[in-house]
C-alpha cells in the first residue's frame, strides 16, 4: 500500500494529507441548519452535517491532494451515527481515488490488536464469509505495548496490502514527558524509531515499508535524526500550520529522493474559510477556500524542497 | 465514580471484573445458528450473536460481579453493527446495576483526546442539546502522548463523575520493550506510575482517585512497587487466568485496606464452558458455567487476601 501512496504523491506532486477532523465550531452554519432541520438536534443531525462538510471539502481537493486523514475521535464522539459518517467518508474518498489514513491511534495486544487491525484494515470472518468493516488504507498505531501490539497489525498489512504509521514522536507540547526520556543516553523516541525500522523490514513494498512513523512537524531536529534511524519508513508529519510547523522546517523529514514524508494539515485546510487569508471565499464556499489553502500548502512545502 | 466502584466491590465482596471480549471461536454454536438464520452471515448476524452471548453471561453474573470490561476491539471489528452491540451491552449492564469499564485504550492530544473522552464518558454538544454517545463509567487510556493526552480525559471525568485507568505496565510478554527501559535507573513504567499519581490528585473521589492504572497480573513484583508509587490509584489487573496470573500472585496489588485493585478475567469466565473444569454445564448453559467460574475466581482471590 505504501507504494500506492508514493505513486499518488509523485503523480500529484503533493506530499500532503488533509486531516478530516470536523469540529462543530468550524462547521459552516448553513450545513448545520439544513441537517438539523432534517434530523433535529440529534446525533444523526450532527453526523449528516459532518458528512456534508466533508463532502464539500473532498469534492474540492480530490484532484490535487493524494490522501486524507480522518481523525476517528471526531466521529466517535457522535456515537454510532458519527461512525457511520466516518465510514461514509472513507468510502467516498475511495470513490474519488484518494488514499485514506485512518487516524485511529489504536493499539492493544495479541488477538485484540488483530481485531483492531481487522476492523480498520482487513476483513472479519462471519461464518463462511469475510466482510470488510471500515476499510481504511492505513491506520495510526500506538507502540506503548511493544511488538505484541504491532505484529498483529503487520500481519493484516501483509495479507491485505495495507499500511500503518506508528507514533514515534508526537507533535504536542507534552510529548516529551515520556518520549524524550533518555535510555542509555538516547531518547525513547529513538528506541521506538529503531523498532519501527526493524518491524518495517517484514513489510517492504517498493522502496519503502508499509510500516511508517508519526513524527511531529513541531520537532524538526528530532525529525532529522529519525529520518536516518528509519530510512525505509514513510513519515507522517502532523503539526503543520495550526500547530506551528512550516515548509522550511520540514525539509529534513524527507529523504534525498524527495520522498519519505507526507505532511498533514487539518484545521488549516478544512477551516480555511474562517481565516482572514481566505475570508474572501465566504462561508458558503468553504470547499473552494480549502482548495486554495491546500494549493498554498503544497507550494510552501515544494518550495522548501526546491521542487 | 471510583467511590461507586469501591462501594460495589465491598457490597459484592468481589474485587473482580469480567472482560466481555466475545470472540467468534468461543461463541456457542446455537447462538450463531439462530442469529445467522435471522440476519444471514452478515455483520448484523455476528452482532446479534455477540449480543445474545453477552446477555447470557450478564444474566448469570450481575448479582455477584461488580463490573464488566467490554473490549471494544472485539466489537469494532464487526463495524457499525458490532459497535451497536457494544452500546447495547453497556446499556444492559447499567440496567442490571453493573459498572462498565470500556476497554478502549484510546489516547490522543488536546481536542482529540477530549472527543474520545466525550465519546466514551461524557456528553457531546449538538446544537442546543447535550447527548450521551457510548456512556461507559470508566475507560482505559494510553499514556504515550503525556499530559496533553490525559488532562482532557480528567476534565470530562471531573465534569461527569467518571474514571479512567491509564496503561502503566501491561500484561503482555513484550510490554518490557519500552515500559521496562531504565530512565535514570528506574523503569519507564515507574515514571508513568508517578505521573498517574500526580494526575490523579486532581480527581479524588473518596479514598481513591478516578484516575486509576492498568498493571498486568503477569508482573506481580512490579505491581508491588507500583502499588506504593500510586497509593491512591485503583489498579485494574488484567492477565488473570488465561494469561497465567493467580490469586496468590495478586496480593501485593492490594492496599492494606483490602482494596485498591480489581482483577480482570475475560476468556476464563466468558468461555468457561469450553474448559474441562466446567464442561459439565454444556454449551447451552454457557452462562451458568461463567457464573461458576466467576465464583471460583472470587474465592481464589479472596482466599489469597485472607478474606
Q: What is the pLDDT of residues A120-161, one digit of tens each?
A: 999 999 999 999 999 999 999 999 999 999 999 999 999 999
The reply to whether B64 touches chain A by the CB within 8 Å rule is: no
H helices of chain B, in order, are 2-12, 29-39, 43-61, 73-76, 79-95, 110-121, 147-160, 176-179, 188-200, 220-229, 267-270, 286-305
Half-sphere exposure of A160 (CA within 13 A, CB side): 26
Q: How confident is the model at residue A189 (pLDDT cuts 50, 70, 90)?
A: very high
The reply to whether B166 touches chain A by the CB within 8 Å rule is: no
CA distances from B213 to A45, A234, A305, B105, B182 (A): 37, 33, 45, 12, 20
Please tell me the distance from the alpha carbon of residue A175 to that of residue A195, in angstroms, as a whole number: 18
Q: Å from A60 to nearest chain B CA?
A: 25
**Mean of the per-residue pLDDT values for chain B?**
96
Torsion of CA B236, B237, B241, B247, to 10 degrees: -110
B14-35 per-position pLDDT tens digit: 999 999 999 999 999 999 999 9
Q: What is the pLDDT of residue A284?
A: 97
**Mean of the per-residue pLDDT values for chain A?**
96
Q: What is the pLDDT of residue B247?
A: 87
A260-296 per-position pLDDT tens digit: 999 999 999 999 999 999 999 999 999 999 999 999 9
Rounded mean pLDDT, B173-200: 97
Please tell me the distance from the alpha carbon of residue A159 to that of residue B56, in angstroms, as a whole number: 35
Residue B84 with chain A: CB contacts under 8 Å: 80
Rounded mean pLDDT, A194-200: 98
Q: What is the pLDDT of residue B18?
A: 98
State percent of chain A over pLDDT 90: 95
Among B18, B268, B222, B126, smallest CA distance to A35 is for B126
Rounded mean pLDDT, B252-266: 96
Decide if A181 contacts A127 (C-beta within 8 A): no
The reply to whether B259 touches chain A by the CB within 8 Å rule is: no
Among A92, A28, A23, A93, smallest CA distance to A278 is for A28
A35-48 per-position pLDDT tens digit: 999 999 999 999 99
pLDDT at A242 over 80: no
Rounded mean pLDDT, B219-224: 94
pLDDT at B243 over 70: no
Q: Please identify every residue of A annotated as catalytic.
A: 105
Cα B295 to the center of its chain, rounded Å: 18
Decide if A210 contacts A160 (C-beta within 8 A): no
**Strand pairing partners for B17?**
B67, B264
Q: How confident is the model at residue B246 (pLDDT cuts 50, 70, 90)?
A: confident
B4-14 per-position pLDDT tens digit: 999 999 999 99
Torsion of CA A34, A38, A44, A45, to 10 degrees: 30
Q: What is the pLDDT of residue B1?
A: 98
The reply to whether A264 touches chain B by the CB within 8 Å rule is: no
Q: Diameter of chain A by CA atoms?
A: 60
**Is A172–B146 a contact, with Cβ atoms under 8 angstroms apart?**
yes
Q: Which domains does chain A have, with CATH numbers?
A: 2-301 (3.20.20.70)
Task: Point out the catalytic residue in the list B4, B105, B123, B275.
Answer: B105
DSSP character for B71? B
B32-68 per-position pLDDT tens digit: 999 999 999 999 999 999 999 999 999 999 999 999 9
DSSP character for A281? G
Please tell me the distance from the alpha carbon of residue B226 to that of residue A127, in angstroms, as a whole number: 44
CB atoms within 10 A of CB A134: 23
Q: What is the pLDDT of residue B3?
A: 98
Q: What is the pLDDT of residue B242?
A: 67
Q: How confident is the model at residue A243 (pLDDT cuts 50, 70, 90)?
A: low
Q: Who's near A189: CB < 8 A, 6+ residues apart?
A: A168, A169, A179, A180, A215, A222, A226
Residue B177 with chain A: CB contacts under 8 Å: 146-147, 195
Closest partner CB to B41 (pick from A74, A80, A129): A129
Q: What is the pLDDT of residue A214?
A: 98
Q: What is the pLDDT of residue B265?
A: 96
Cα B252 to the center of its chain, rounded Å: 20
State percent of chain A over pLDDT 70: 99
State percent of chain B over pLDDT 70: 99
State percent of chain B over pLDDT 90: 95
Residue A112 with chain B: CB contacts under 8 Å: 21, 71, 73-74
Half-sphere exposure of A152 (CA within 13 A, CB side): 25
Please tell me the distance from the alpha carbon of residue B285 to that of residue B260, in angstroms, as a whole number: 33
Q: What is the pLDDT of residue B145?
A: 97
Helix, strand or coil, per DSSP, at residue B171 = coil
Please tell me the distance from the alpha carbon of residue B135 to that of residue B118, in angstroms, as a whole number: 9
Q: What is the pLDDT of residue A247?
A: 87
Q: What is the pLDDT of residue A246?
A: 85
Q: How confident is the model at residue A182 (pLDDT cuts 50, 70, 90)?
A: very high
Q: How confident is the model at residue A215 (pLDDT cuts 50, 70, 90)?
A: very high
Q: Who's near A251: CB < 8 A, 6+ residues apart?
A: A304, A305
When scoring A132, A178, A270 by the number of chain B Cβ atoms within 10 A, the one with the most, hence best to mutate, is A178
Amino acid at each position: 500500500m505504501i507504494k500506492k501512496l508514493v505513486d499518488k504523491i509523485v503523480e500529484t506532486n503533493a506530499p500532503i494529507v488533509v486531516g478530516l477532523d470536523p469540529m462543530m465550531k468550524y462547521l459552516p452554519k448553513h450545513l448545520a441548519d439544513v441537517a438539523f432541520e432534517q434530523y433535529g438536534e440529534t446525533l444523526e443531525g450532527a453526523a449528516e452535517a459532518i458528512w456534508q462538510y466533508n463532502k464539500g471539502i473532498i469534492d474540492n481537493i480530490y484532484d490535487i491532494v493524494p490522501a486524507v486523514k480522518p481523525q476517528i475521535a471526531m466521529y466517535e464522539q457522535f456515537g454510532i451515527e458519527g461512525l457511520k459518517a466516518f465510514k461514509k467518508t472513507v468510502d467516498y474518498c475511495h470513490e474519488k481515488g484518494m488514499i485514506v489514513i485512518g487516524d485511529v491511534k489504536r493499539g492493544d495486544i495479541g488477538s485484540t490488536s488483530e481485531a483492531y487491525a481487522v476492523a480498520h484494515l482487513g476483513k472479519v470472518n462471519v461464518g463462511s464469509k469475510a466482510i470488510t468493516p471500515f476499510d481504511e488504507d492505513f491506520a495510526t498505531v500506538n507502540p506503548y505495548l511493544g511488538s505484541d501490539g504491532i505484529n498483529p497489525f503487520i500481519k493484516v498489512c501483509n495479507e491485505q496490502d495495507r499500511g500503518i504509521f506508528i507514533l514515534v514522536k508526537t507533535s504536542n507540547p507534552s510529548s516529551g514527558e515520556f518520549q524524550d526520556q533518555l535510555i542509555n543516553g538516547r531518547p525513547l523516541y529513538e528506541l521506538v524509531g529503531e523498532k519501527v525500522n526493524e518491524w518495517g523490514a517484514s513489510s517492504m513494498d517498493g522502496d519503502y515499508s508499509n510500516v511508517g512513523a508519526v513524527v511531529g512537524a513541531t520537532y524538526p531536529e528530532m525529525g532529522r535524526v529519525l529520518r536516518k534511524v528509519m530510512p525505509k519508513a514513510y513519515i507522517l508529519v502532523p503539526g503543520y500550520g495550526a500547530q506551528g510547523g512550516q515548509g522550511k522546517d520540514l525539509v529534513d523529514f524527507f529523504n534525498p529522493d524527495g520522498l519519505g514524508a507526507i505532511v498533514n494539515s487539518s484545521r488549516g485546510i478544512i477551516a480555511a474559510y474562517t481565516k482572514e487569508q481566505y475570508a474572501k471565499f465566504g462561508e458558503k464556499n468553504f470547499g473552494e477556500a480549502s482548495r486554495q489553502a491546500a494549493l498554498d500548502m503544497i507550494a510552501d512545502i515544494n518550495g522548501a524542497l526546491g521542487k
